[in-house]
Structure 1
Amino acid sequence: MFNALAQTTINGKITGKVIDSATKAPVDFATISVFKADSKNPVNGISTDSKGNFSLSGIPAGEYRVTVDFIGYREKVFNKVTISSSTTTVPLGTILLTSATTQLNAVNVTAKVPIVENKIDKVVYNAANDLTAQGGVALDVLKKVPMVSVDIDGNVELQGSSGIRFLINGKPSTIFGASLADALQSIPASQISTIEVITSPGAKYDAQGTGGIINIVLKDNKFQGVNGSVNLSAGIRLENGSINLNARRGNFGVGVFFSGNTQLNTTAKNTTNRTAYNNARDTATNLFQSGSNPFTRNSYKTGINLNWSVTPKDELTATFGYNDFRNHGTGFTSQNQSVMAGGDVSSAISSTRTSASRFGEKAVDFSLGYKKTFKREGQQLDFLYLSSFGTNIADASQQTDYLTGAYPSAGLRSNNPGKDRQTEITLDYAQPLSKSFTLETGAKTFMGNLTSNVFTDTLQNGAYVVNPSQTYSFNYKRNIYAGYASLSFALFKDFFTGKAGLRYERTHTTGTFSGAGIPDYNTFAPAFTLQHKLDDSQSVKFSYSYRIERPDYGDLNPFYNISDPHNISTGNPLLKPEISKNFELGYSKNFNNGGNIYLAAFYRNSPDNIQALSTYYDVLNVNGTDYTAVSLTQRFNLGSQKNIGASIFGSVPVTGKLNLRTNIQLGQRQSSNVGLATVNAFAYRVNLNATYQFPHDLVAEVFGNYNSQQKNIQSIRPAFFNYNLAIRKQFLNKNASIGLTTANPFAYYITQRQTLFGSNFNQTNVRLIPSQSFGVTLTYKFGKLKFDKEKDTTPQLPDMGQ
């Protein structure tokens, strides 16, 4: 036993020198990867220095496979490389790499991961190669991801659905619970390694998210030594900064990061013109509002991750993250309200409204994972414990003053502290049954607990007094118990490959607020994917998934938001979960010149579709207080919705220096709603990205995006267009770069004109949203460079059991 223990603590070494077999010149930055004998994922690696030498130390005892490769050369493989107590150093000697293709004059070979990779269960967008988004935030990257669209307000849709399950490194976080747009604004683009899009998740994944899953993978690696990067950007609207530091020695690694960003003060302008009709009284009420809203946002994130290969087959990982983001807005609005009777103005009221809002959240995420592999390749046990805890505070106030003095000033101010706690325990097991079949099974428990207190004061006779009808506390709990079984298969000599499975989830929800009689329910969610490779460069796949969108506490909570007394919103405790049945047919083709194309057709049927509905009231009584000329917005299970559409992604290297990429998404949406007219609406999104490589490590990029208008039940969402320009110069042997970026440089505002309508009102909103920006970005990488493929070293969602 003592000898066996001693062997596992051996720090072995592998050395060698890599040269070109034809020219005998050293090959610098060649990738040396070390694999366990029974694994497809590297456990260690390094790149050669300027003289082609490498020395990789800290390797535990065991048998390994070593590969040596570089773009443009044939890979060299060394099998059965053994580290033991008697052989602690293995010299591979001089390694000759031979050219994979005929050498051409004046051809520069660049090691670069494709910006989009299509896999059997997901599409991976490699954000590290995205130039125009690097000075921005996660939302800027998402605009370029296939099948994803982002509107002017930061609302994200996946194949036309807003029901998206967002994860970070394969794990959920409480930062997505309070404000999704704020959370996505808090993640600098320079911190993102890849974004994974899963439109048809398998049975192993949570059933939550009718549109699918978006997983944001942050930068990380497992290579020996110390390395890191610093990213800074400054501009007239947004400032970003981040630092990453990774260190690994032997079988233990640690990574730390810190990032922060600030959206500088910007002022949006808006007008609202609403006319409502009362046929019984033969009157029309007009409300005109005109105002401006200065707004700021700032955030920072930090964290640490630890990785310990206890033995060659036992691995422990632990992560800790802290997130802090907050925003602050103020507003001043002029209001004119008039009533027309018989064509004449019977009354008119002029007023001004001042408002302020402040929101902040602090969230802590902790995870502990254990992975056990066995002698049989593919047999694996995974355990994950995840705890996420967030505290938030939301303050809001508004006061209306009447210019004529005929009415006393009216106002509200509220304070809403809350806490959000989530705990997940997941166990997954994979068992190969044969070379063609692998069974996966697992179980999961989710426990969520949210507490909130609402304190509201009302302005009365010049003083604020407690409003008991709007002052209360509530506790909201949701527990989900799940289990699944899934079978991966290869049929007819790999003519078909795929995965099929069934997931069961039991949802138990309780709430202490009024009307919160929420029943328990069971969900059986089947899913399957079938793929056929036409040849080595192209494939087709068909998938089906059954998804669910559970209403959260914000949808259910009947608290009235009266920050604008003429536009009030509230939750609906009677909401039922929304179901979605998703079908997708996809085709993928890779070309010899590096280009690729992905085509997908999709169909989604969603009964009990949850949508917002606005109703106009001449007078609305809220807990004993009357409000006049009010539009009340509430969410309902209005009926069913069907979406049919297509997504097209293409990357074309026009020349050796010019590359074009495009994303096109189009679809038809049909909403059949009880008591309302059926709505048929067509919408599309098109973007184009062009990159040009100049001499002397100078590259430029142009990105343009257009979203068409979209008709909904009560509104027409306006179209919008935005574009970005960027140029970057690399220096210090490509370890450093400086870039210039700009967004919409020729227009300070984007104008958004939206129409809303109901059975007794028509409304037009016009918003002027600041969009112009100019900035500079600085990047510096130090330590050992990482030239391995991201897919081999970044956290992969399937391994997380989510």
Structure 2
Amino acid sequence: MKRVGIVIICLILSFGTVFAQKIKITGKVVDGSMDKAPFEYANIVLQTSDSVFVAGVSTDVKGNFQLEKVQAGNYRLVISAIGYTDLIADLAGLTGSIDLGELVLSEAAEQLAEVTVTAANIINQADRKIVFPSQKQLEASTNGINLLQALMLPRIQVNPLTKSVGLAGGGTVQLCMNGVKVSTEDINALQPEDILRIEYLEDPGLRYGSAEAVLNYITRRHETGGSVSLDLMNSPHIVFHNDAVSARLNHKKSEFSINYRTSPRDFYDCWRSNEEVFHFEDGTSLNRYEKGKPGHLSELNHGGSFTYNYQEPDKYQLNAQLGYWGYSQPHTDYRSDLYNVEYPDHITDMQDYTDQATHRPFIDLYYQQELKNKQFLALNLVGTYIYTDSKRSYQERQDGNLLTDIFSGVTGNKYSVIGEGIYEKGFEKGRLSAGLKHTQAFSDNTYAGNLEYKTNMKQADTYLYTEFQGKWEKLNYTLGIGVTRSWLKQEGEEGYQTYTFRPRFSLQYAFTDHFYARLNGSLVNNPPALSELSAVEQMIDSMQIRRGNPALNPYNRFQTNLYMEYRKGKVSVGLSSLYQTNPKAIMESTFIENGMFVHTYRNQDGFQYFNSELNLRAGMLWNILQFSLSGGVNRFWSDGKDYRHTYTNWYYRAEMMAQYKHLMASFTIYNRRNGFWGETMSSGENLHMLSAMYKYKQIAVGVGMVNPFADNYKRINENWNKYVSSIKETYVNESSRAFFLTFAWNFQFGRKYQSEGKKIWNQDTDSGVMNTSK
């Protein structure tokens, strides 16, 4: 028996050794110069979490290193060289091989990129977090979007249903791939095996415009060969699909890529309820209620792009992209019983049908050049055409008699050209960047129906900026200044020309290796939308009109944000607080004219917004589970010429993900995160989703359900105007307990090398057409 026990123990130890041998840690070390030359003979030391030596190697002549036969556990990786700042990364919960990609060693005199350790698989640099996905997170993902969901980064929120990316506290997230701004569809087409790391810029600079955060995916690139991927999400009992296909082909320095995505919806059990109270000048009022009946909602989002990229590594790059995005909504058909609350038996049959479509082809040309002495130059030119066709039919009938018959239609054509150039220069103790961006747009819209108009508008915006980023002891700082010239001319109307200064600052202080705080502030100019400036009016119903206002002027937005984060081991806690004020903000204005209630836009007194949010993240726990919990409050103050409103919204969000071998499961739940602007409250979603997936090698299959514990789905809009107040609820019954299936297939062939990417990307998405829906 003793011999049998010894044999069993030996077998167990042998199996453990076999599995340990499978774990490798690889990467490439380069110096901090603009050329990023391979760093020869840098010291690579692997330690336990309490600094006990495990293994050590040196980089080869190409800067590459490899640590083999590493057992699963918690480690610190230290990269060092004489005269350079040590680079340290914690690798907690290491269970599989990991490629750390390109790691930059900076000269000790260059304090800007000094590194501090804050968490497992995350390196904090002066201007960004560098996130290395673990092997388990890569295994739990089929594309770049659900990998982001698995990472559960602070403040980043992923909608698993629409595969959109948002930011806690509001604001926009700019997605990039190797430095170029790309669409969600491009990230969704990324195969997890091609992702080396994600650079998370929580405080992006002036050249990123209005983006509150930037996620930059650093990827591998095939030297020869390529890849193909298929990602499907379909419901077997309703028309609800999110499908995507993409392919890449490489030959030497050239890369060809194509992707296409389609998201059709077709629902027959949707309706709205709407209660409106009209207050007339003589002191009387009318309370109308709209009781909805099942209607039809049909829409299609689809689009794709073809891209050619030619690259001479570390020297220059040429990128050309031809793309198209289309949106079609042939049916938004609402039918309701309309009646006065005082006389519920006198029912009017109401129909409100909308049919709209948008087509947006574009071409994007980009060139970048690496220059001597840590200099860099990038140029970008984008041309866009937007065609819009929208029709609306509104009718009220009583006892077969037609009481109200309103038809409105608009066709719009918009042409725009965006050009931008960026120059950067690195110094010993900082980096200077400067840029110039110009937008030229032309639009003409034809409004037909009960009221007919033609508009012709020309718009130009020029933005010049410069920014310096540096470090003083434990304080990282960024100081920037920009100036914007905005010009608009509408045929038959007076235009405007304004100049605005756009200062910006950011201060980040590291109190310890685990705790830091960041304070930033900015001033941004907000021009009016072309649809708001249109010298047109359109009827909403028998009592209401929507009208544009050519007299609108741009307004400024002042914003400051304080963020604090404590991160140690597998747990992180973050607290963010944001305050924003918008003097002379463009908000809605309603008044009575000739017995009609007119809804228009006006430069009001101002708008203020405050948000505070606490986020807790933990994982991987027991090498199986990770979760994220967040909660916060929104507070709004809206000051108009004849109104003042305040509104408070409390919200929460929870995400949990578990993985065991090839099986993954996730659960997401959040309540309504509401917004307020002018006199209107717009609700967010009240949603939860449960899903499970089995992945084996290149194929993954899964199941899920939307709102499994709820029997209805609705969005709420409230208007608090003193003349016309309303509460509108829109229901889509098919969005409750909706069952779906997922399938993903990723196929790769050829060798890989890490690619560089373009640094700027521009696109025009504003059609300039007025919305006349109720």
TM over 0.5: yes
Change over 3 Å in CA distance of 1:615–1:348 after alignment to 2: farther
Structure 1 pair 142–295 and aligned structure 2 pair: CA distance change class (3 A) = farther
Query: What is the letter of the counterpart of residue 704 of structure 2?
Result: T
| Deviation of the 1:332 alpha carbon | 4.1
Residue from 513, 533, 536 that aligns with 1:536: 513
Distance change (3 Å), C-alpha of 1:283 and 1:256:
closer
Q: Note closer, same or farther for the CA distance 1:122–1:534 as it changes in structure 2 (3 Å cut).
A: same
Q: Deviations over 1:234-286 (max 9, x none)?
A: 11342122233334454443433232222233542112222323362645464
Q: CA deviation at 1:553?
A: 0.4
Q: Distance in 2 between matches of 1:260 and 1:286?
A: 39
SS, match of residue 496 in structure 2: coil
Query: How does 1:165-204 map onto structure 2 within 5 Å?
Result: 189=188, 200-204=203-207
Cα separation, partners in 2 of 1:332 and 1:759, compared to 1, 3 Å: closer
1:386 to 369, 381, 390: 381
- Alpha-carbon contact 1:643-1:668 (below 8 Å) kept: yes
- Aligned-partner residue type, residue 582 of structure 1: Q
1:750: how far off? 1.6
Determine whether 1:479 maps to 2:471: no
1:603-752 aligned at under 5 Å gives the runs 603-615=579-591, 619-620=595-596, 630=597, 632-653=598-619, 654-677=621-644, 679-694=645-660, 696-707=661-672, 714-718=679-683, 720-731=685-696, 734-752=697-715
Question: In structure 2, do the counterparts of structure 1 residues 101 and 689 end up closer, same or farther at CA, with 3 Å as the change threshold?
Answer: closer
Q: List alignment gaps of at least 5 residues for structure 2.
A: 1-13, 49-53, 76-92, 101-119, 765-774
Inter-partner Cα distance in structure 2 for 1:75 and 1:549:
54
CA deviations on 1:64-85 (whole Å, 9 max, x unpaired) are 7899999998674424349xxx
**Paired residue for 2:350?**
352
> Is it true that 1:756 corresponds to 2:719 in the alignment?
yes
Indicate conservation of the 8 Å contact 2:149/2:157, yes or no: no
Q: CA deviation at 1:400?
A: 2.0
When residues 77 and 740 of structure 1 are mapped into structure 2, their CA distance, relative to the original with a 3 A threshold, is farther
Secondary structure of 2:708's aligned partner: coil
- Opposite residue 702 of structure 1, the aligned amino acid is F
Q: What displacement does 1:312 show?
A: 4.0
- Pair 155,521 (structure 1): closer, same or farther in 2 beyond 3 Å: farther
Amino acid at match of 1:394: D
Q: Residues 501, 100 of structure 1: CA spacing in aligned structure 2 closer, same or farther, 3 A cutoff?
A: farther
CA contact (8 A) 1:299 1:326 kept: yes
Change (3 A) 1:282 1:740: closer
How far has the Cα of 1:451 moved from its partner?
1.8
Q: Is 1:362 the equivalent of 2:360?
A: yes
Given residue 416 of structure 1, which amino acid in structure 2 is its aligned partner? Answer: T
Distance, in Å, in 1 between the alignment partners of 2:314 and 2:721 is: 65
TM-superposed CA distance for 1:372, in Å, is 1.1
Question: Structure 2 matches for 1:314-333, cutoff 5 A?
Answer: 314-333=316-335
C-alpha separation between the residues in 2 aligned to 1:667 and 1:269?
Answer: 29
Amino acid at match of 2:370: K
Contact 1:203 1:500 in 2 (8 A): no
Partner Cα separation in structure 2 for residue 566 and residue 131 of structure 1: 58
State the partner residue of 2:445.
453
The aligned residue for residue 107 of structure 2 is none
Q: Which position in structure 1 is the counterpart of 2:83?
A: none
| Equivalent position of 1:273 in the other structure | 275
1:666-695 deviation line (CA, Å, top 9, x unaligned): 233223333323x3332232111111122x
Tell whether the 8 Å contact from 1:33 to 1:66 is kept in structure 2 after alignment.
no
CA contact (8 A) 1:562 1:568 kept: yes
Q: Is the contact made by 1:384 and 1:800 (CA closer than 8 Å) also made in structure 2?
A: no
Q: Secondary structure at the match of 1:745?
A: coil
CA distance in 2, matches of 1:673, 1:545: 24
Tell me the distance in 2 between the aligned counterparts of 1:670 and 1:143.
Answer: 35
- Note the 1:35-74 alignment, pairs <5 A: none
Q: SS of the residue aligned with 1:605?
A: strand
CA gap 1:687/1:269 in 2 versus in 1, 3 angstroms: same
Q: 1:109 to 1:301 in 2, by over 3 A?
A: same
Partner of 1:227: 227
What is the aligned partner in structure 1 of residue 260 from structure 2?
Answer: 258
Alignment partner, residue 372 of structure 1: 370
1:9-158 to 2 correspondence within 5 Å? 30=24, 33=27, 76-81=57-62, 96=68, 108-109=95-96, 111=98, 120-121=126-127, 147=155
> 1: distance between equivalents of 2:74 and 2:206?
46
Shift of the alpha carbon at 1:524?
A: 1.3
Structure 1: runs of 5+ lacking an equivalent: 1-19, 44-61, 83-89, 174-182, 459-468, 621-629
In the TM superposition, 1:426-505 aligns within 5 A as 426-432=421-427, 434=428, 436-440=429-433, 442-458=434-450, 469-480=451-462, 482-492=463-473, 495-505=474-484
Q: What letter matches 2:730 in structure 1?
A: R
From the superposition, tell whether residues 228 and 334 of structure 1 become closer, same or farther in structure 2 (CA, over 3 Å): closer
1:717–1:662 CA distance, 2 compared to 1 (3 A): same
Q: For residue 421 of structure 1, what is the aligned residue in structure 2?
A: 416
Query: Secondary structure at the residue paired with 2:532?
Result: helix
Amino acid at match of 2:719: L
In the alignment, which of 382, 386, 395 is matched to residue 400 of structure 1?
A: 395
Whole-angstrom CA distance in 1 between matches of 2:533 and 2:145 = 30
CA shift, 1:705, in A, is 0.7
| Separation of aligned partners in 2, 1:655 and 1:570 | 60
The one-letter amino acid paired with 2:233 is: S
Residue identity in the other structure for 1:231:
D
Report the Cα distance in structure 2 between the residues aligned to 1:785 and 1:219, rounded to whole angstroms: 19
1:165 CA drift (Å): 7.9
The answer to whether the Cα contact below 8 Å between 2:316 and 2:368 also exists between their aligned partners in 1 is: yes
For residues 199 and 261 of structure 1, do their structure 2 counterparts lie closer, same or farther at Cα, with a shift above 3 Å needed? same
Q: Is the 8 A contact 2:665 2:693 kept in 1?
A: yes
Contact 2:671–2:687 at 8 Å: present in 1 too? yes
1:577 equivalenced with 2:554 (yes/no)? yes
Find the aligned partners of 1:542 and 1:335 in 2 and give their Cα distance: 53
Q: 1:555 is paired with a residue of what secondary structure? A: helix
Counterpart-to-counterpart distance in 1, 2:95 and 2:313: 42
Residue 554 of structure 1 aligns with which residue?
Answer: 531
Which residue identity lines up with residue 521 of structure 2 in the other structure? Y
The answer on whether the counterparts of 1:188 and 1:260 sit within 8 Å (CA) in structure 2 is no
Which one-letter code corresponds to 2:468 in the other structure?
L
> The residue matched to 2:605 in structure 1 has which SS?
strand
Cα distance, 1:686–1:544 mapped onto 2, change above 3 Å:
same
Q: How does 1:755-774 map to 2 (within 5 A)?
A: 755-770=718-733, 771-772=735-736, 773-774=738-739
User: What residue in structure 2 maps to residue 461 of structure 1?
Assistant: none
How many angstroms apart in 2 are the aligned matches of 1:720 and 1:248? Answer: 42
Cα distance in 1 for partners of 2:286, 2:499 equals: 48
* C-alpha contact 1:65 1:79 (8 A) present in aligned 2: yes
1:74–1:97 Cα contact (<8 Å) kept: no
C-alpha distance in 2 between matches for 1:132 and 1:267: 35
Could you say which residue in structure 1 is the equivalent of 2:767? none
- Note closer, same or farther for the CA distance 1:672–1:575 as it changes in structure 2 (3 Å cut): same
CA RMSD in angstroms, aligned pairs only: 4.7
Cα distance change, pair 332–245 in 1 and its aligned pair in 2 (3 A): closer
Q: Is 1:410 the equivalent of 2:405?
A: yes
Pairs aligned (count): 694
After alignment, is 698-707 or 266-275 more displaced? 266-275
Q: Any conservation in 1 of the 2:181–2:759 contact (CA below 8 Å)?
A: no
Distance in 2 (alpha carbons) for counterparts of 1:561 and 1:141: 43
Alignment of 1:776 with 2:758, yes or no, is no
User: 2:554 and 2:198 mapped to 1: Cα distance?
Assistant: 27
- Paired residue type of 1:472: K
- What CA distance in whole angstroms lies between the structure 1 residues aligned with 2:340 and 2:180? 52
